[in-house]
Amino acid sequence: MKNKYSIFSLFKNALTDHENWQRAWRDPEPKKEYDAIIVGGGGHGLATAYYLAKKHNMRNIAVLEKGWIGGGNTGRNTTIIRSNYLWDASAGLYDHALKIWEGLSQELNYNVMFSQRGVMNLAHNLQDVRDLKRRTHANRLNGVDAVWLSTEEVKKFCPIINTSPNIRYPVLGGTLQKRAGTARHDAVAWGYARGADEMGVDIIQNCEVKGIKRNGDTVEGLETTKGFIKTKKIGVVAAGHSSVIANMAGLKLPLESKPLQALVSEPVKPIIDTVVMSNAVHAYLSQSDKGELVIGAGTDDYVSYSQKGSHDIVEGTLHAILELYPIFSRMRMLRQWGGIVDICPDASPIISKTSIKGLYFNCGWGTGGFKATPGSGDLFAHTIANDEPHKLNAAFNINRFVSGDLVDEHGAAAVAH
Amino acid sequence: MFIINCPYCGEREQSEFKAGGEAHIERPKQPTELSDDQWAEYLFMRKNIKGIQFERWVHVHGCRKWFNMVRDTTNDQIHAVYKMGEKPPIK
């Protein structure tokens, strides 16, 4: 049983110089067999394990992670959470996640620092205005909060934005989702890991999957760097490496893995209390609680697993940031990094069964998976436990690329892919 | 970021080019006879290789010509560049 985190436990542990905190999760060796194995110990994978144990009572399960938990895209994203997607299927999926976010810290007894500071999307040309207004209407029909802001209202909501009509891409308005915001990405992985571990889930780090053993069209287990592990159900949540795992099972996925970059500035005093995204000029910005500006850049257009992106992508983003926020012209950037994102042709995820019995994939989140972490885990756990999708992720099956029933969120994803 | 040796212009910075994805995907000869599965395979399914990948690039801010490239996607090292219609120089 895990000790509860509270103001009292903080006080108690302060008396012993914080040297006696209980381990948040164990470091077990893999068993010979599990009822289900999740491949990938990022936020989505850990959330999947947590909900499998909690809602479906599957306790004899494991999460395999080739590095350390939360060390991939979970720790590399810009932590933005919102659900203002265009299509009904996406609104259902992302708003399901947003609703879980709203009570997540209490549920996990772990402060994920969820902050509903609002996300504003800017329009810079007439087509942007039309698209964003349409999306606002679509959101409201789906019960997702959204308002349209005029240029003056944008300025009032975020005074540091340059709303002069004389810049190259003037701000013609924007949308605002007030329930949207940010969360602490590491805490999400750690919170789910701690919760899953408490229910008996084995979280096995430094364990890379090397092969998938099959008997005909049924999975039998996984070859790993820690030996063979038998299981009947495998849920793959490997983000940029999804195609690599699929290849082990002889499957091909409609994915391309590309570097996506982000950067943070030196920490400064509070200057921006919301998240501002701009699709047309590709710049998005927020400020972390430490004071760093968190800036998201774009993806490169070539396939790469190098976790490095091109310099010109960062340069382009910073040009846009400087035009929109001249106040930052002398800010220094502290760190820049890349993550490998798996992008689907329709910029929507895959949470699906496959043609192989017992093999499930949760992938294709592309540039925007973090926001969906709790919902993705919940729905993927449902799919694995029942061998059937939940109604909220039924549209995100892998067969949509055969039937043509795509969920095209390229425009509505609010950043160019 | 890396330098690409365009077969028509010589060495240029990668930002002058645009990647066109996996190479050697042949357009169906009889499109009307394709099943939905075959269309999905042609349009959407990709090898997305971690390692040596054969891919198409276009010198979009230069000669605007398409060509093929062999590149290691783990470290972005380019092993060969060859013209459209040519056989890959390495296997």
Quote ipTM for the complex.
Answer: 0.95
- For the cut 70, the answer to whether the pLDDT of residue A59 exceeds it is yes
* Residue A122 backbone dihedrals phi, psi, to 5 degrees: -90, 150
Q: Which residue has the higher pLDDT, A283 or A184?
A: A184
In a domain? residue B89: no
Contact B45 A253 (CB under 8 A): yes
CATH code for position B56: 3.30.2270.10
Contact B43 A303 (CB under 8 A): no
- For the cut 90, the answer to whether the pLDDT of residue A172 exceeds it is yes
In a domain? residue B55: yes
Query: How much is the pLDDT for B91?
Result: 74
| Spatial CB neighbours of A271, under 8 Å, sequence gap ≥ 6 | A160, A287, A327
Number of Cβ within a 10 Å radius of residue B55: 19
Contact B73 A305 (CB under 8 A): yes
pLDDT tier, A283 (very low <50, low <70, confident <90, very high otherwise) = confident
In a domain? residue B88: no
Contact B74 A301 (CB under 8 A): no
- Give B-chain residues touching A336 at CB under 8 angstroms: none
**pLDDT (mean) for A97-114:** 97
* Contact A257/B at CB under 8 A: yes
Can you tell me the distance from the alpha carbon of A396 to that of B2, in angstroms, rounded to the nearest whole number?
Answer: 36
pLDDT tier, A280 (very low <50, low <70, confident <90, very high otherwise) = confident
- For the cut 70, the answer to whether the pLDDT of residue A277 exceeds it is yes
Query: How much is the pLDDT for A248?
Result: 96
CB A345 within 8 A of CB B44: yes
The answer, as to whether pTM is greater than 0.90, is yes
In a domain? residue B53: yes
Nearest to B46 among A254, A403, A404 (CB): A254
- Give B-chain residues touching A403 at CB under 8 angstroms: 36
CB A378 within 8 A of CB A384: no
Residues 3-62 of B with CB under 8 A from A: 14-15, 18-19, 21-22, 36-37, 39-41, 43-50, 53, 55, 57
- For the cut 90, the answer to whether the pLDDT of residue B56 exceeds it is yes
Can you tell me the distance from the alpha carbon of A413 to that of A145, in angstroms, rounded to the nearest whole number?
Answer: 16
Tokens encoding A409: 């969120």
Judged by phi (left if over 0) then psi (alpha if -120 to 50, else beta), residue A255 lies in beta
Mutation target among A303, A314, A317 for the B interface, most CBs of B within 10 A: A303
- Give B-chain residues touching A253 at CB under 8 angstroms: 45-46, 48
**pLDDT (mean) for A194-223:** 97
* Contact A319/B at CB under 8 A: no
pLDDT tier, A416 (very low <50, low <70, confident <90, very high otherwise) = very low
Query: How much is the pLDDT for A414?
Result: 45
Number of Cβ within a 10 Å radius of residue A244: 17
Residue position matching structure tokens 């879980």: A100
Chain B residue nearest residue A312, CA to CA:
B15
Compute the nearest-CA separation of A201 from chain B (Å). 30
Average pLDDT, chain A: 95
Task: For chains A and B, count residue pairs whose Cβ atoms are closer than 8 Å.
Answer: 72
Tokens encoding B48: 């997305």
In a domain? residue B90: no
In a domain? residue B91: no
Tokens encoding A227: 């030996």
**pLDDT (mean) for A203-226:** 97
Query: How much is the pLDDT for A67?
Result: 97
Residue position matching structure tokens 């926020």: A325
- Structural domain for B64, as ranges: 3-83
Nearest to B46 among A255, A304, A311 (CB): A255
CB A135 within 8 A of CB A412: yes
Give the Cα-Cα-Cα angle A387, A209, A262 (nearest 5 degrees): 90
Contact A256 B21 (CB under 8 A): yes
Contact B19 A303 (CB under 8 A): yes
Nearest to A48 by CA among A383, A339, A357: A383
- Give B-chain residues touching A311 at CB under 8 angstroms: 1, 15
pLDDT tier, B90 (very low <50, low <70, confident <90, very high otherwise) = confident
pLDDT tier, A404 (very low <50, low <70, confident <90, very high otherwise) = very high
Compute the nearest-CA separation of A308 from chain B (Å). 8
Query: How much is the pLDDT for A411?
Result: 61
CA distances from A36 to A119, A232, A241, B9 (A): 37, 6, 20, 54
Map residue A342 onto helix, strand or coil: strand
- For the cut 60, the answer to whether the pLDDT of residue A415 exceeds it is no
Q: Strands of A93-164 (E only): list them.
A: 119-123, 147-149
Query: What residues form DSSP beta bridges with A365?
Result: A343
Chain-centre distance of CA A396, in angstroms?
16
Residue type, A177: Q
- For the cut 50, the answer to whether the pLDDT of residue A299 exceeds it is yes
Tokens encoding B63: 């000669």
Nearest to B44 among A247, A257, A345 (CB): A345
Nearest to B46 among A241, A256, A403 (CB): A256
**pLDDT (mean) for B21-47:** 95
Query: How much is the pLDDT for A417?
Result: 40
Chain-centre distance of CA A9, in angstroms?
31
Query: How much is the pLDDT for A392?
Result: 98
Task: Report how many domains make up chain B.
Answer: 1
Helix (H) or strand (E) holding A174: strand A173-177
In a domain? residue B58: yes
A254-264 residue pLDDT tens: 999 999 999 99
- For the cut 90, the answer to whether the pLDDT of residue A403 exceeds it is yes
Chain B residue nearest residue A315, CA to CA:
B15
Nearest to B48 among A243, A312, A404 (CB): A243
- Give B-chain residues touching A354 at CB under 8 angstroms: none
